[in-house]
Amino acid sequence: MNLKFGTSGLRGLSVDLEGPAAAIYATAFAGTLIASSQAKPGDTVLIGRDFRQSSPQISAICIGALLRAGLKVLDCGTVPTPALALYGLQKHAAALMITGSHIPADRNGIKFYLPDGEIAKEDELAIGAAAAELMASGTPIDATPATAPDHERDVRMLFVARNTAILATGALTGLKIGVYQHSTVARDLFVDVLRHFGADVVPLGRSETFIPVDTEAVSPETIDLLKGWAVEHSLDAIVSADGDGDRPLVSDETGEPLRGDFLGLIAAQFTGAAVAVTPITSNSGIERCDDFTVLRTRVGSPFVIAGMMQALSDGQTGVLGFEANGGVLTATDFSINGTLISSLPTRDSFLPVLAALAKVAQHGQPLSVISASYSLPVALSDRLENFPTETSTALMAYLRGDDANLEAFLSDVGTIAGVSDIDGLRVALIDGRIIHFRPSGNAPEMRCYVEAETESQAKALLEKGLNLLRAWADSCGA
């Protein structure tokens, strides 16, 4: 059993989680809630899930474990993670979301929420330690599945009410928007919300088989689909999300996906944020916008949340966070369209989607024109899948071990001007380009991020970076 906490939640193979492991971690979570006085026996815990084949079984096992731990459970069904989190905040209830987000279908995971929001890294350590203690005790763990009362309709209604208050009535009238439905739990809610604002909505690509869509590294096959649909239906944009609906995917009128950090930038401007907290992997040009103060963190929503909480403790107001994958988090309430939208300090795909589409409607310009007007550096990223964790660990140790090692590794790429070690290694080259190597926190993958002045330069740099990673893996026999 190889389960671990990554950038957002516990992840591992579905076959592991469909057994005692799910019961162990649910029991450990219940124990840490009670031990920390964040819940008491009889309190309510929520549980939701995505559309993966393994998710219903894992959910049922967790329900059984939580009930045996003395808690009351409400089954919130197949809903977006931000919808489950919002419902938890309203009820002041802890929650579990069964999802592997964007990773392949043979893997799954659990995201944990406290009554006041997403868990922090220290909470992950506590849950992990409690799980390890349960496994070490030798006491058999009961993994008998169970059921709980269905609250899916209430969760959906609350989330729709929140999102239909963000724009004015009819704000998207005249826009023709595609919704790439695939297997995201956000698929029907996107259709409902966009139609509420007057958009002509075209549902596309619905699948009953789980499709892993990574909004931070959109596959060429997905881009081909988006481009084909954009032309076929004469669309102004296509919107979608990852499996659990917390990361947005937005393509312009040509079907070209927009960067998630650009969507975060749009959302920050849309809300009038004073502070934006974002990971080191987000576009370096964001600081040039001068609309808000930018604070940089490591990759992962717990780090962004910690950054937002620090900003609040420093007396800042109007605090928002976003990740390079486009998920937007709000640490404070915002007045939008004359309505107070309550804080939701977990990744949300709906706010950035609505902010981007509102900009199209307000300015009467295509998304491609709006995007180009920001003159951000061209930023690209990709990943090598099935890149063993031990191989990426060895690479990062080698590159960090000696400046000469990093210089030699990048000798065919360019001359180093500076290095950031916040998360992975982000290298600024003397000609202004940026290349960044970072092991994934969720899967055996190695990611490469690049920035350059032109798309051709960025593509060339990305290919060089990926080739360097492939060569390293080959030398290690991976």
Residue 1's pLDDT band, with cuts at 50, 70 and 90, is low
So what's the pLDDT on residue 470?
95
Domain count, the chain: 3
pLDDT at 131: 95
> Is 163 inside any structural domain?
no
For residue 278, what are the CA distances in angstroms to 13, 281, 295, 345, 439? 29, 8, 6, 13, 18
Shared-domain flag, residues 257 and 281: yes
Residue 459 has pLDDT above 80, yes or no: yes
pLDDT over 80 at 443, yes or no:
no
104 confidence band (pLDDT: 50, 70, 90) = confident
Indicate whether 233 belongs to any domain.
yes
Q: Is the pLDDT of residue 178 over 70?
A: yes
User: Is 173 within a domain?
Assistant: no
Residue whose C-alpha is closest to residue 58's, from 107, 92, 93: 107
pLDDT mean over 469-474: 94
pLDDT digits (tens, 9 = 90+) for 21-39: 999 999 999 999 999 999 9
pLDDT value at residue 291: 84
Q: Is residue 89 part of a domain?
A: yes
Query: CA–CA separation, 77 vs 56, rounded Å?
Result: 9
Write the burial class of residue 368 (CB in 10 Å: 0-12 exposed, 13-18 middle, 19+ buried).
middle
- Residue where one domain finishes, among candidates 112, 139, 154: 154
Same domain, 347 and 207: yes
Selected catalytic residue, list 8, 101, 183, 392: 101
Domain check: are 426 and 345 in the same one?
A: no
368 and 409 both lie in a single domain: no
Instruction: Judge if 328 and 415 occupy the same domain.
Output: no
Residue 181: predicted pLDDT: 98
Structural domain boundaries, residue 470: 378-475
* Residue 8: active-site member: no
Token code pair at residue 267: 């959302």
Domain co-membership, 224 together with 257: yes
Do 230 and 319 have their domain in common? yes
pLDDT computed for residue 442 by the predictor: 64
The pLDDT value recorded for residue 9 is 86
- 218 shares its domain with 322: yes
Three-class SS of residue 478?
coil
Mean pLDDT, all residues of the chain = 95
- If asked whether residues 87 and 194 sit together in one domain, one would say no
Residues 57, 279: Cα–Cα separation, whole Å: 34
Last residue of a domain, one of 355, 373, 391: 373
Least confident residue range of 137-141, 317-321, 431-435: 137-141
pLDDT the model gives residue 476 = 84
* CB-neighbour burial class of residue 394 (10 A; exposed 0-12, middle 13-18, buried 19+): middle
424: left (phi over 0), alpha (psi -120 to 50) or beta: left
Do residues 184 and 210 touch, judged by C-beta distance below 8 A? no
236 within domain boundaries: yes
Residue 201 included in any domain: yes
7 has pLDDT over 80:
no
- 3-state SS assignment for residue 174: coil
Could you tell me the pLDDT band of residue 290, with boundaries at 50, 70 and 90?
confident
List the beta strands (DSSP E) in 62-146: 72-78, 94-98, 107-114, 117-118
The reply to whether 453 falls in a domain is yes
Residues 6+ apart with CB under 8 A from 401: none
Task: Specify the range with the lowest mean pLDDT, choosing from 195-199, 289-293, 358-362, 465-469.
Answer: 289-293
Structure-token match 């990305």, residue found? 462
Where residue 436 sits, what CATH number does that domain have?
3.30.310.50
Task: Assess if residue 161 is contained within a domain.
Answer: no
- Angle formed at CA 351 by CA 346 and CA 352, multiple of 5 degrees: 100
Higher pLDDT, 264 or 299: 264
Residues 293 and 231 in one domain: yes
pLDDT value at position 94?
Answer: 98
Please give the pLDDT value at position 300.
86
127 and 207 in a single domain? The answer is no
Domain end call among 373, 406, 436: 373
Q: Are residues 348 and 423 in the same domain?
A: no
pLDDT tens readout for residues 292-330: 999 999 988 889 999 999 999 999 999 999 998 999 999
**Residue 250 and residue 352 in contact, taking contact as beta carbons nearer than 8 Å:** yes
CATH number at residue 209: 3.40.120.10
CA atoms within 13 A on the CB side of 405: 11
Spatial neighbors of 362 by CB under 8 A, at least 6 apart, are none
What are 58-100's pLDDT values in tens digits? 999 999 999 999 999 999 999 999 999 999 999 999 999 999 9
